[in-house]
Amino acid sequence: MNDKRVIRSMLILVILMLFIVISCGCLDEKSKFIGVWYYSDGGTITFNNDNTVNIENIGPLGDLELIGVFDYTIANNQITFDSGSVGVTLQFSFPNSNTLILSNDSGLSITLTKEL
């Protein structure tokens, strides 16, 4: 009887630990974005904790020009900005902790920096 309780307790503990590890991984990726990112031509992108982003004075990325407040989601090294029925997905990379590169399928990209 005690063996079953121990096994059950260990199983619950393992499941809980797995959930925590998975949750921390998602939070860490999102936390890299949070804050104000600067574009060399003077624009900014501000990522907020509530999954909204404010894009100001960022020039076009090919045929795409995003200005305003959008919702964003992060998955599989891609970030999607959307507002209602309009949305765009870009690839992202962090060459270091204060550099963010956003690129589209055509290979065009912008590099943003964040003051630490």
Residue 73: the pLDDT is 94
The answer to whether residues 23 and 46 belong to one domain is no
Do 108 and 76 have their domain in common? yes
- 29 and 41 co-located in one domain: no
- Neighbouring C-beta atoms of residue 79, cutoff 10 Å: 20
Enclosing H/E stretch for 35:
strand 35-39
The tally of domains found in the chain comes to 2
Residues 3 and 58 in one domain: no
- Between residues 24 and 56, the one the model is more confident about: 56
The mean predicted confidence, pLDDT, of the chain is: 83
0.75 exceeded by pTM: no
Domain of residue 88, residue span: 34-116
Residue 95 banded pLDDT, cuts 50, 70, 90: very high
Residue 60 binned pLDDT confidence (cut-offs 50, 70, 90): low
